[in-house]
Amino acid sequence: MDHRVQSVIDAMQLHLDEPLSVHELARAVNLSPWHLCHIFKSETRRAPLQYLRDLRMQRAKSLLETTFLSVKQVMIEVGVKDESHFVRDFKRIHGLSPAKYRQSLDQTARQDTLIHSVTVFANK
């Protein structure tokens, strides 16, 4: 992978919670915005801001799975300011809204706990 593209990806991951523009990312690797978009898309098959949005949604999924943060807090942690965009993007990638995704995790955890309890009880 082109080292400039990798540098941009690294910067995105470090600054997920901050507003980032193609101009800023391009400036960081000494390229024009057009040239950055061109090489970035040829390397990743996605535009830089699309890649950033996908990284944010992956991080949001992880936070919903591993923390007790509210959906609004998760949204802030991943640098999204507009709740409707956050919900729409999350649902597009993961198939459920963030709230429904978390509910599905809770249901799965309860089912796993119940199955474990029944298994332990049956083995006694």
Number of structural domains found in the chain: 1
- The letter for the amino acid at 78 is V
Indicate which CATH number applies to the domain containing 90.
1.10.10.60
Contacts of residue 108, Cβ cutoff 8 Å, sequence gap at least 6? none
CA-CA distance, 65 to 117, in Å (whole number)?
22
Banded pLDDT at 114 (limits 50, 70, 90): very low
Banded pLDDT at 9 (limits 50, 70, 90): very high
* Helices (H), ranges, 1-124: 3-14, 22-28, 33-44, 48-66, 71-77, 83-94, 98-122
Does the pTM surpass 0.75? The reply is yes
Banded pLDDT at 105 (limits 50, 70, 90): confident
Domain span holding position 47? 3-122
